Structure 1
Amino acid sequence: MKAAARLHPWSQRFNLKLLLLVLAIGLGINLVGLGHLALVVRSALSPADLLLLLQLIGLLLMVLIAAAGIYSLVSEFAFWEGWLQGLPAPGTLFDRGPPAAGSHRCYLVYLDGIHQLERDHPPRVSAFLELLEQQLAAEILLVRGLETYTVMPVALAEDAGSEWFWRRLFALQEQHPNGLVQLLAAVLVQANNVIKVGISSDRRYGPILNYELALKISLRLAEAGFRPDAGSRIVLTGYSGGAEMAMGVADYLRRITRAPVSIISFCGVFSGNQELHQLAGITTIVGSKDPVAAFGRIAYPGRSPLLPLSNWNKALAAGQIQRSLIEGMNHNGSHGPFSEAFRQRVIKAILAALDAPIAAPTQTGC
């Protein structure tokens, strides 16, 4: 009890922040289906039984989400201490010969939102990326299929310490006949990604996670042919929570690759707490009807104009940040950035950001 009391203030702050993120991002729940399911459950159970069921579900979610958060922190520490293998040392990443002839001048790295469960993106996202890739200039390479919310170069279901858990959870989400069980499994899977977004923005644990993810991205860039002495630049484009991951890894990636790094976010939910002054520019693409991205500006006080000395506001004052508004666009669904109604406008904004001059005058753009 004493130990619990000592941990209570810290856990309360952490869980409150996590809860707000979960509520804001929505975890991809279909509200219409959930409402129908609630009516069915309510008609089949008495009020007392329904209350007991809700209490049990809440307790289960609290325990499992907390366990996922603890495991995330422990896995970061284990890698940092050298107990896990899988990512190389920075000095050996690009020891693979000289740059290939005709190497790309710009590497556009896509970091997905919290809906990502594996290397393969959801169908709407895949269609969006294919359309984007078709419109990119020949010297720009789109790097996709990165698992944004695991630092090891394996799928979440292949993680050595937790694959048994994730495989069963994926099976429940995809195959269980009960809609409530499928919903709970989906919440738990995406809660893992929300926790990673929270850790990335945290000044205590974020640097470890962000450095490890920067190593993972660097490894993928090396496999794609990137070489530090080829004069290329790197652009991180992140959707929703992927924007926070991009902000977190950008400066580490710049140091590891010794190349200019810039960020393009769309519908981004991010803190702006990280080191941003050395980046080659930041472009935020936002929808006028996106409540999730708008909530992100409130949830993270460092983006408030009342704090002019925050990293975000200093970068804003230095002219490093450009904002592009798309009227009528929401965060997801039929009016989201991956919908047929808005995806071409988002792609046009991304292409414009790639063509824009970069913030650092001594560096060359895409």
Structure 2
Amino acid sequence: MISSILLVALGFGIFALIITAALSPLETLSWWAGWTEAELEDPSPEHRNTTDTNAGTVSHTQQYVVYLSGVASLSGNFLLPREHSFIRKLRKSAPHAVVISDVFPYSPQGLPLLESPRLFDRTWRRVQKLKLDGRESILSALINLRNIFQVMVSADHRYGPIFNQGAASVIEHALLKAGYPLGSGAPITIIGYSGGAQVALGATSFLAARFKATISVISLGGVIASDPGLQYVSKLHHIVGDGDKIQKLGAIIFPERWAIVPHSNWNIAKHDERIKQYTLSDMVHAGVNGYFGRPERNGISNAERLVKLINKILNE
């Protein structure tokens, strides 16, 4: 009986995986064709949101920071507790910056998995309930896989430009909603965790054309391709934990990052010293020992070490 249930669950998982992989580019193409287009909220001053930024700094800010969550994300408003804690620490330590954290990077429309008609809508809601109850299950892997496929779409030479243009529009809208003054040239920093780093980099070329400002990307264990966005980013700060094996996948699965392709966007950016890597000790990709880990070692947590490094980068 138990073996039969396991076989059924495995069969469902494989079926869901195949369907999710096949439909990954479809969401991007349907958005591009206008089949699923949705109007974004008016970012005019009377509708701007200041609740998700450092209060009182919008009109005097020196820079804007946008955070893109990792592949476990369901919504820009549904961050894991460790991420929420990290964002609070970052806002407190960087009062000169407006920190935006409500962007969902794994949809060209920015639509959370729970707020649009999708094939697995009930599954996403079930996973959300499990996460809120503090319980993980095999269903949680479906969220990761679904978002990983979207990261692959972002890195794809065929579909990537379309997906990344949509992601850039979502980020642009969030910046304007938070009070970004167009034409001011205020610097923009996009912090991307895990797959969010690839989306951040992919959106850079479109954001640079729109804002005419200095745009930098901070990768937190990012799985990144040799993206054309590297031609437009002022600096890619690649922060990696010495025990993070996940971020190493980018250097393996994307051949244009290999040293034997010297004229790729990645290797040209490295040659021009526009990619800077920072290695943090005793840190893995996720969990209590991950980038947002809160247990203290020698009087300081991983999250606090990370915030300290990010502040140093922002102040350069």
Q: Taking structure 1 as the reference length, what is the TM-score of the superposition?
A: 0.74
Residues 1:344 and 2:298 aligned together:
no
Q: Is this contact kept in 1: 2:58–2:179, CA < 8 A? A: no
Could you say what the CA RMSD is over the residues aligned between the two structures, in angstroms? 2.7
SS at match of 1:110: strand
- Matched positions, count: 297
1-structure distance, mates of 2:93, 2:252:
35
Conservation of the 8 A alpha-carbon contact between 2:190 and 2:216: yes
Q: Does 1:275 align with 2:235?
A: no
Larger Rg: 1
- CA shift at 1:175, angstroms? 5.7
Deviation of residue 335 (structure 1)? Answer: 1.3
**Deviation, structure 1 residue 147:** 1.2
Which among 146, 158, 175 is matched to residue 115 of structure 2? 158
Which among 56, 74, 80 is matched to residue 32 of structure 2? Answer: 80
Say if 2:66 and 2:99, in contact at 8 Å, map to a contact too: yes
2-side partners of 1:175 and 1:133: how far apart? 29
Tell me: CA distance 1:169–1:116, structure 2 relative to 1, closer, same or farther (3 Å).
Answer: closer
Aligned residue in 2 for 1:133: 91
Paired AA for residue 302 in structure 1 = E
The superposition leaves residues 265-307 of structure 1 with CA deviations (integer Å, 9 ceiling, x where unpaired) of 1111111233312211111111111111123222222222222
Amino acid at match of 2:98: L
Counterpart pick for 2:105 among 138, 148, 169: 148
1:108 aligns with 2:65: yes
Paired AA for residue 111 in structure 1: L
Equivalent residue for 2:51?
none
Instruction: Name the CA shift for 1:308/1:191 in 2 (closer, same or farther; >3 Å).
Output: same
Instruction: Return the alpha-carbon distance in structure 1 between the equivalents of residues 283 and 191 of structure 2.
Output: 18
Among 209, 218, 222, the alignment partner of 1:264 is 218
From 213, 223, 238, the counterpart of 2:167: 213
Q: Does the aligned pair in 2 maintain the 1:173–1:185 contact within 8 Å?
A: no
Instruction: Give how far 1:244 is off.
Output: 1.1
Residue 246 of structure 1: how far off its partner (Å) = 1.0
Partner deviation per Cα, 1:248-276 (whole Å, 9 max, x = no partner)? 11111111222221101111111123331
- Please say which of residues 185-194 and 218-227 is displaced more in the overlay: 185-194
SS at match of 1:265: strand
1:177-326 to structure 2, matched below 5 A, reads 183-326=137-280
Contact (CA 8 Å) 2:123, 2:139: kept in 1 or not?
Answer: no
Q: Distance in 2 between matches of 1:148 and 1:272?
A: 19
| 2:226–2:257 Cα contact (<8 Å) kept | yes
Aligned to 1:353: 313
The SS at the match of 1:285 is: strand
Q: What amino acid is the match of 1:174?
A: K
What is the alpha-carbon distance in structure 2 between the residues aligned to residue 198 and residue 323 of structure 1?
23
User: Could you give the per-residue CA deviations for residues 165-197 of structure 1, whole angstroms, max 9, x where no partner exists?
Assistant: 323442266369xxx9x7232122222111111
Q: Is this contact kept in 1: 2:185–2:213, CA < 8 A?
A: yes
Q: Which has the higher helix share?
A: 1
**1:120 partnered with 2:78:** yes
- Tell me the TM-score normalised to structure 2 length: 0.85
Change (3 A) 1:238 1:175: closer
Q: 2:123 aligned with 1:171, yes or no?
A: no
Query: Amino acid of the residue matched to residue 149 of structure 1?
Result: Y
Identity of aligned residues (%): 27
Secondary structure of the 2:216 match is: strand
SS at match of 1:263: strand
Displacement after TM superposition at 1:109 (Å): 0.4
3-state DSSP of counterpart to 2:11: helix
The Cα offsets for residues 291-338 of structure 1, whole Å up to 9 and x where unpaired, read as 111232222222222221111000010111111111111111221111
Amino acid at match of 1:355: N
CA distance 1:130–1:172, change in 2 (3 Å): closer
